[in-house]
Amino acid sequence: MIEANQHNAELIERILRLKRQRNAIILAHNYQLGEVQDIADFVGDSLGLSRTAAKTEADVVVFCGVHFMAEIVSILCPDKISLLPDANAGCPMADMITAERLREEKKHHPGATVVCYINSSAAVKAESDICCTSANAVRVVESLDAEEILFIPDQYLSHYISTKVRKRIIPWPGFCSTHIRIQPQDIITLRQEHTQAKVLIHPECRPEVIALADEVLSTGGMCRFANETETRELIIGTEIGIIHRLRKENHDKKFIPASDQAICPRMKLITLENILWALEEMTTEIKVPEEVRLKAKAAVDKMLESSI
Ligand code: 13P
Ligand code: SF4
């Protein structure tokens, strides 16, 4: 244990030194390993990370998250170097749709406005009218002057939105392979064991799980809710990496993961070792081709400019 701590301390020192030399910033998603969150300059949800990426003055952004997140940096700030410490850290849900398949689907719904969840590739964003995250999905769809929405790629987020707005939502059959592991019975059992607890559920979960929630929130929304609530016990229905941040920020509260199966293997590919390697070798750089970037940027900008 002492050796492991010593090893981490050395890694952290080298990362911080290189970070200064390269004028780099480290951004981490709420699902990252605890030690990765702890060295980041900013930890947040997809919306918060996109906003931070859009205004950073750093020359290099080390993105501790998944591929589509590092693409957002390239889309919004093409002059910056966007590094993903493990090139295999892709989101399986984002891979459930391609630009080509979306183009085909659009032909079947010529009157529909295409809203893409941020968990999608730059090429798919380039084929979409506006982007959204789990934090603003309902408000984005509500704000559109359109009755028919083709919502891609998450069928469960799409279903959740359809319960909140009076528009026709056409879903795409994608899903998050981590959130579907949370089962209704997990919540029912935990509620019986923790009768005073509030249940926070991410909208990527199945509708039967969402139906059992007290609050349906993005990961950033969960962190804010936990900070502000008087409730001492919270059952957390999302990827378990967020528990590290919740406990760190709220010593007086108890956080119970809805399921210990809710682990995103791709998020966990990022380690202190490969962050150091990324900064040493300036790899793997994620760069979106200019033609795709300009179209994808229009969809992301529309979301950011509407400030919802
Ligand atoms: P948020 O952090 O934006 O809620 O997204 C969850 C997620 O699955 C990111 O991959
Ligand atoms: Fe993708 Fe789900 Fe992992 Fe998020 S938690 S990166 S949506 S697989």
CA 272, chain centre distance (Å): 20
Q: Is 27 left (phi over 0), alpha (psi -120 to 50) or beta?
A: beta
**Residue 10, helix vs strand vs coil:** helix
Q: How far is CA 94 from CA 90, 99, 193, 204, in A?
A: 8, 11, 36, 13
In degrees, rounded to 5, the angle at the alpha carbon of residue 179 between the alpha carbons of residues 219 and 91 is 80
Q: What is the CATH number of domain 179-257?
A: 3.40.50.10800
Q: What is the CATH number of domain 2-90+267-289?
A: 3.40.50.10800
91 CA from centroid of ligand 2 (Å): 5
Q: Give the CA dihedral 14, 15, 17, 19, nearest 10 degrees.
A: 160
Q: How many CB atoms are located within 10 Å of the residue 238 CB?
A: 29
According to the model, what pLDDT value does residue 3 have? 78
**Residue 134, helix vs strand vs coil:** coil
Contacts of residue 197, defined as CB under 8 A and 6 or more positions apart, other chains included, come to 190, 191, 231, 233, 234, 235, 254, 256
Looking at the structure, give the CATH architecture of the domain made up of residues 94-175: 3-Layer(aba) Sandwich (3.40)
According to the model, what pLDDT value does residue 308 have? 61
Q: How many CB atoms are located within 10 Å of the residue 278 CB?
A: 25
Please give the number of the atom of ligand 1 that sits closest to the Cα of 176: 8
Atom 2 of ligand 1, nearest CA residue: 45
* Phi–psi pair at 114, nearest 5 degrees: -95, 120
Token pair in block for residue 13: 């020192």
Instruction: Render each residue's pLDDT in the chain as its tens digit; 308 residues.
Output: 667 788 899 999 999 999 999 999 999 999 999 999 999 999 999 999 999 998 999 999 999 999 999 999 999 999 999 999 999 999 999 999 999 999 999 999 999 999 999 999 999 999 999 999 999 999 999 999 999 999 999 999 999 999 999 999 999 999 999 999 999 999 999 999 999 999 999 999 999 999 999 999 999 999 999 999 999 999 999 999 999 999 999 999 999 999 999 999 999 999 999 999 999 999 999 999 999 999 999 999 999 987 66
Q: Are 15 and 275 in contact (CB under 8 A)?
A: yes
Cβ burial, residue 204 (10 Å; 0-12/13-18/19+) = buried
Whether residue 271 has its Cβ less than 6 Å from ligand 2: no
Residue with the two structure tokens 């300009």: 294
The radius of gyration of the chain's CA atoms, rounded to the nearest angstrom, is: 19
Q: Among 258, 68, 53, which residue's Cα sits nearest to residue 154?
A: 68
Q: Among 275, 212, 233, 204, which residue's Cα sits nearest to residue 46?
A: 204
Torsion sign across C-alpha atoms 17, 90, 152, 297? positive
Whether residue 120 has its Cβ less than 6 Å from ligand 1: no
Whether residue 15 has its Cβ less than 6 Å from ligand 1: no
219 CA from centroid of ligand 1 (Å): 6
117 CA from centroid of ligand 1 (Å): 10
Which residue blocks in 2-149 are alpha helix, DSSP H? 2-22, 34-39, 46-55, 67-76, 99-108, 122-126, 137-143
User: For the chain, which residues make up each domain, given as ranges?
Assistant: 2-90+267-289, 94-175, 179-257
Whether residue 32 has its Cβ less than 6 Å from ligand 1: no
Rounded Cα–Cα distance for residues 139 and 299 (Å): 15
Whether residue 202 has its Cβ less than 6 Å from ligand 2: no
Provide the whole-model pTM.
Answer: 0.97
Please give the number of the atom of ligand 1 that sits closest to the Cα of 47: 3
Whether residue 91 has its Cβ less than 6 Å from ligand 2: yes
